[in-house]
Structure 1
């Protein structure tokens, strides 16, 4: 809870990342607000609006609610969704570029949230580069009159005899060294060594900063023109304008100031490979390009507080990419996942089905209506069911029983509350071919970011750790699997093996 004391502060407003906090009952001299951090993690911006029109801003560091995913996990999921989208899109029959311009629809909120955190990390990397930038020694040759070449070396003087006029010394006693025999070049060529920040890498980095600044300004202008004052769109327009200003400040500082133009792309060189700081800039460049790419979809149009819905799509695309790597894609089996138009690439919002080799099918949010309304006899015997993910095989045109996956962002004891829907899917979805009612679900699992403790026999493990035990899975064809943002592709593939093992036999 926040409390503000003072004269006539009862009408003050407190905003967190542009959203007004719930005000509690107060008095003219005391205002109170309630705030639940929820998904807020890392740095959070507060704005206090006083009744007299003055504003105060501050940034505080918060910890995430341990029952929910952190801000870093949110960013990792957005990055993975965009990367997996491009990887799967490359397997589709579509052959067109996905633009990165500022035209077209306004970018969805998840992408803007992702870019916002990348700018903060970019500032830290640029500050490290500024403290120890790479320089290049450059040799220059200057032609100076003899009386100005005070620091010329003997080698430079002797080399200068090759061209130009040669003067003869008339002064007595002579001041020139005996070796010159009273002669001196009129013009002396002197070599100078200077260090400079003008590296090809710095030129490209400055061009990238300029490109990101222009993109942020353009999107901010479009949001501002299309939004009402005080709306979320207007708040995001102001945030993007502030982000563009921060990027411009980075571009105006050394080693990026006053460099010639270059393409706004990074060429892999030894500097980006071997220097950890420059390697971090290259990683952020990839993230920024993902964030500004024209990828849209209902699941990207959500704020940080709706991360659990983003987790569902993230789980599906992670598994879809693993399925495509494992069994390959059957024909144009990924076409249903995307829509392509002039605005860019759109991820379908529901009922996605990936068709892979060997008859494998991976569906996102398949809808199973009452079985008597469906022609294939597979459906629910109570009400329509829509599990998050379903995996099965088509063998000689006949579908095998399903593996149903229920993606839940909860961790720790919150998993126990999430089991109800998983039980429901396993019991209510049936197959009625041949007039006999059989369960259509072979296995049912929760997908969660929870990391269980060390394993053992499931009888000795507490909840929720027993749900992750392999012997629990073998005994009941039920349980939970860990799928956490930041997992490597080989770990996701191992999870897929565990899920698909029952259908391969």
Structure 2
């Protein structure tokens, strides 16, 4: 890549180790804030087509920008000249498998808690149909582009076979004598007098093979599935489903599928499906799609893959719910759900203060709000909304999921001081927070070397960090909860 310059002017980026370096030499990672410097007059600097505002500093013009949450190409334009660089994945980012694991864990626990809610409405995944669900839509939405690529590759080079069809043909057009033709002549008694039209066999190349028949069946099933999502009372889902349905409609009307007979009923996975690299990806895509087909509590709002931090907060909360439910402390969970005319939905939206009633007058909150005029507990400075609060009559313990902070835990823990020191009991005036802990998907090697994860540090300061990774949950969180319950129960 050429230097991002215009004459004697050029664009630089601040690197903590090497200072100011040329922008094109920087290693950019997703969801990261960077400081830029332009030597000269930055009349027009755009990133992904959006103008970047600069302000005049001591050493040139300065600006800051945050890279997108997704990795991939980044287009930069400097004074009309375009360039391209790359944003690399964040090493702290959870994998797609862990993302799906969090979805499954949340909905599984939501289903388990529903029997404790006291609600008496039939529940299905969306309120309209038992064969669609929020997890299925999430998978379909983020992987539909992949399916389009697979279909295009199959359409260019589909499975074919040679098919022999009997027909009557003019004798001069018969290229070679088939046994069936000689047999027909003998049966008709023509002998040496060959008629103008003879019975023969024509060999055709056809795409109407079993695998393509199954493919056409799956395309029609997908079309009907998208129609169900299109009918949902959610404008964002319906709009996307309508767009995807139009794409599938074009597939159905394509010359490739027009001449193929649709398979009816059950189908088998042939060796071609298993061994051909492209057809195998097609089969696996649909296999994964229907694994999400389950009866359960749906979400009333979407979460994209880029908003994993939001899903991580919900997952941590539901893991605490599971811990308390299995220990026998959960009394009523009806406030976890919202009833609409479409059905019942898990209601963990921001600032909703979702609450679970526990034995002994305790409660578990999701994004509980505290301010100066709150009744039992209040703040004497600003409004505070910790993500997860286990609250007793006079004390509480705070958990704050932090998805992307393993390399900056000290700063994140510094923010926890406002919860530990700023939330007080209104009647006694004493500090209410008996522990403030960050929940983070930190790698094991960091857990072993950082003092914030050590029990001695946490017992001394009543603060620290707890590792919470989907599929790798330890006992540290359980011990914290059990210790708090023992203290408030005394």
**Interval of TM-score (by shorter of Structure 1 and Structure 2):** 0.5 to 0.7
For these two proteins, the number of residue pairs brought into alignment is: 418
Kindly state the Cα deviation for residue 413 of structure 1 after the two structures are TM-superposed: 3.7
Give matches, 1:155-166, under 5 Å: 166=187
Aligned to 1:22: 52
What is the root-mean-square deviation in Å for CA atoms of aligned residues?
6.2
Counterpart residue number, 2:409:
415
Q: Calculate the TM-score normalised by the size of structure 2.
A: 0.58
Change (3 A) 1:259 1:40: farther
Structure 1 gap segments, 5+ residues each: 27-31, 102-107, 176-185, 224-236, 393-397
Q: Residues of 2 paired with 1:449 and 1:46: CA distance?
A: 31
SS of equivalent to 1:409: coil
Q: Partners in 2 of 1:50 and 1:113 — Cα distance?
A: 40
User: Alpha-carbon deviation of 1:347?
Assistant: 2.7
**CA offsets, 1:375-418, max 9 Å, x none?**
xxx555766543210236xxxxx759543201223324422111
Q: Which residue of 2 aligns with 1:497?
A: 478
Paired position in structure 2 for 1:386: 385
Deviates more, 1:381-390 or 1:280-289: 280-289
In 2, Cα distance between equivalents of 1:322 and 1:260? 53
Deviation string 1:186-210 (CA, Å, 9 cap, x unpaired) is 9789999966345464134312554
Q: What is the CA distance between 1:138 and its match in structure 2? A: 9.8
**Residues 61 and 372 of structure 1: is their aligned pair in 2 closer, same or farther, counting only changes over 3 Å?**
closer
Aligned-partner Cα distance in 1 for 2:138–2:269: 32
In the alignment, does 2:94 pair up with 1:95?
A: no
Secondary structure, counterpart of 1:285 in structure 2: helix
1 CA distance for matches of 2:381 and 2:54? 44
For residues 57-206 of structure 1, the aligned pairs below 5 Å read: 61-64=86-89, 69=93, 77=99, 80-81=102-103, 84-85=106-107, 88=110, 91-92=113-114, 93=119, 94-99=121-126, 117-126=142-151, 142=166, 150-152=177-179, 166-168=187-189, 170-171=191-192, 196-199=208-211, 201-206=214-219
Distance 1:400 1:207 in 2: 59
- Give the alignment of 1:392-403 within 5 angstroms: 402-403=396-397
Structure 2 gap segments, 5+ residues each = 8-41, 129-133
User: After superposition, where does 1:61-460 map in structure 2 within 5 Å?
Assistant: 61-64=86-89, 69=93, 77=99, 80-81=102-103, 84-85=106-107, 88=110, 91-92=113-114, 93=119, 94-99=121-126, 117-126=142-151, 142=166, 150-152=177-179, 166-168=187-189, 170-171=191-192, 196-199=208-211, 201-207=214-220, 210=223, 259=260, 270=269, 277-278=281-282, 280-282=284-286, 285=289, 295-297=299-301, 300=302, 304=306, 308-309=309-310, 311-320=312-321, 326-327=326-327, 333-342=332-341, 345=345, 347-349=347-349, 350-355=352-357, 361-368=363-370, 373-374=375-376, 385-391=384-390, 402-429=396-423, 440-453=432-445, 456=448
Counterpart contact for 1:21–1:34, Cα < 8 Å: no
Following superposition, the deviation at residue 425 of structure 1 comes to 2.5
